Amino acid sequence: MRRSLLLLALGCLLSVVPAQWLETTVTLRDSAYPSAICYNSQESKVYCTDEMHDEVVVVSGTTNGILEQVPVGQRPIAVCYNSANNRVYSANYLSGDASVIDGGGDSVVATVPTGEWPYAILYYPLRNKVYVANSGSDNVTVIDGGTNQVLATVGVGSVPRALCANPTNDKIYCADNNSGSVTVIDGTSNQVLATVSTGARPRSLCYNPRSNKVYCGNYLSDDVAIIDGASNAVITTVSTGFLSAPRVLCYNPRNNKVYTANWSSGNVTVIDGGTNQVLTHVPAGNGPWSVFYSPQSNKVFCANFYGDDVTVIDGATDSVLESIPVTEEPVDFCHNPAENRVYAANCMSACISVLRDTVEVSVRESPGHGLLSPRFGATVARGLLMLGAVDSRQNAGSGAALLDAAGRKVMELRLGPNDVRHLSPGVCFVRSATAVTKVIITR
């Protein structure tokens, strides 16, 4: 009888829980200007540049509390994480250097001179190198990730603005904004392999490992140049629409798609990674500034600068799932896979929005007043657990409780949403007056 109740729930329904998008807002100090953000997977910390106060703010990936404010160089504008040495690098625009932060102690362990006006920074795990694009001196500084020594200074085109890596062919790509080109750098020798003409004002790059292609978003020519990762030849150029002004690109490996945030047209262009065809233009908000792919939930997040919100796009269907208000001017994202959180840096409101995409709990309908059909595989609950009655004549919430795997009562349950975020992950059981149902609590 007890076994049958586990499989055949009579009176307790676990209903779909809407996604809990905006979990909290991390407030930085007055007049802070958060502009770039990255995640430290080893320590579960988030690092956000504050250009106004010349510091990097460290946020706990678990509690969302501020752990440290690390003084760096002048006007930190970009940040990246070195997973091999547990270090965070801040590109400091006005002081012409990169601050190296120890990921454990959150203190600066080195300051590495770069070129003038460093604008973009990239960590390349294959060679354990850090690349800094210097927009004022038209070169790229290559830093050894182990020793923090400068290995090379590579001349590129005019006003380099973006970097990406191709580990398949061991290459680094630099978008030269004022030259209308992409410089291709050998990841081993640090030598320039090619200069590829793209379009007007190239300022964003991303790499597609499945098709071995590099995508370059050209801001003024309203298109994306697709470069062959092996030959360095332009395969084709894809229009993103008249006066679209593509700013930032991201890649969805699960569905082999590339997304462009189109600043002027207020939408996101979706490009098929295999055929190079435009699949659709997804409406976003006012002034799409950047796009970011979350692998855990297969969603694309678009920061709308003037709209003060984030558009969430389903990676499979390319449909808009939600528009999340996030205060003023979101500009950059990072993802915390341990907590399935996405962080948005809001540059004009001195804060970081923490977005948490909960897993929906499956609907289990009752055929009339009969038994629910057995369902093999547990129901998953993240964040909220919704408890509802089969019909108005029953009250499944009366006396309902959540039990742990040993049968101990963990908490009382009520009809409607129940907050389970404080519970440790694991198997639990919902016990009502008429049934026992298995649930897996996860984060």
Q: What is the distance between the alpha carbons of residues 99 and 109, in angstroms, rounded to a whole number?
A: 8
Domain end residue (candidates: 356, 387, 414): 356
Q: What is the mean pLDDT of each run of 10 residues along the chain (443 residues)?
A: 35 40 93 97 97 98 96 98 98 98 98 98 98 98 98 98 98 98 98 98 97 98 98 98 97 98 98 98 97 94 96 96 93 94 96 77 34 41 61 46 72 78 74 69 68
Domain count, the chain: 2
If asked whether residues 258 and 407 sit together in one domain, one would say: no
What single letter denotes the amino acid at residue 171?
A: K
pLDDT at residue 392, rounded to an integer:
34
Q: What is the distance between the alpha carbons of residues 348 and 149, in angstroms, rounded to a whole number?
A: 35
Instruction: Tell me the β-bridge partners of 344.
Output: 333, 353
If asked whether residues 279 and 232 sit together in one domain, one would say: yes
**HEC profile of the chain:** CHHHHHHCCCCEEECCCCCCCEEEEEECCCCCCEEEEEEECCCCEEEEEECCCCEEEEEECCCCCEEEEEECCCCEEEEEEECCCCEEEEEECCCCEEEEEECCCCCEEEEEECCCCEEEEEEECCCCEEEEEECCCCEEEEEECCCCCEEEEEECCCCEEEEEEECCCCEEEEEECCCCEEEEEECCCCCEEEEEECCCCEEEEEEECCCCEEEEEECCCCEEEEEECCCCCEEEEEECCCCCCEEEEEEECCCCEEEEEECCCCEEEEEECCCCCEEEEEECCCCEEEEEEECCCCEEEEEECCCCEEEEEECCCCCEEEEEECCCCEEEEEEECCCCEEEEEECCCCEEEEEECCCCCCCCCCCCCCCCCCCCCCEEEECEEEEEECCCCCCCCCCCEEEECCCCEEEECCCEEEECCCCCCEEEEEECCCCEEEEEEEC
Task: Say if CB 145 and CB 133 are below 8 A apart.
Answer: no
What single letter denotes the amino acid at residue 386?
A: M
If asked whether residues 235 and 118 sit together in one domain, one would say: yes
pLDDT at residue 334, rounded to an integer:
97
If asked whether residues 286 and 399 sit together in one domain, one would say: no
Residue with tokens 């590579």: 154
CATH number of the domain at 347, please. 2.130.10.10
If asked whether residues 286 and 419 sit together in one domain, one would say: no
If asked whether residues 11 and 41 sit together in one domain, one would say: no
Instruction: Tell me the β-bridge partners of 69.
Output: 57
Task: Say if CB 139 and CB 153 are below 8 A apart.
Answer: yes
If asked whether residues 283 and 409 sit together in one domain, one would say: no
Determine phi and psi for 2, rounding to 5 degrees: -65, -40
Q: CA angle, 180 as apex, 178 and 184 as ends, to 5°?
A: 105
If asked whether residues 325 and 310 sit together in one domain, one would say: yes
**Distances, alpha carbon 223 to alpha carbons 240, 312, 339, 413, 424, in Å:** 5, 23, 36, 54, 48
**Which distant-in-sequence residues (6+ apart) come within 8 Å of 273 by Cβ?**
208, 210, 211, 213, 251, 256, 257, 258
pLDDT at residue 401, rounded to an integer:
83
Domain that holds residue 385: 2-17+361-442
If asked whether residues 315 and 423 sit together in one domain, one would say: no
Full-model pTM: 0.78
Domain end residue (candidates: 356, 377, 405): 356
pLDDT at residue 364, rounded to an integer:
33
If asked whether residues 302 and 401 sit together in one domain, one would say: no
What single letter denotes the amino acid at residue 13?
A: L
If asked whether residues 328 and 404 sit together in one domain, one would say: no
If asked whether residues 124 and 254 sit together in one domain, one would say: yes
Q: What is the distance between the alpha carbons of residues 335 and 295, in angstroms, rounded to a whole number?
A: 9
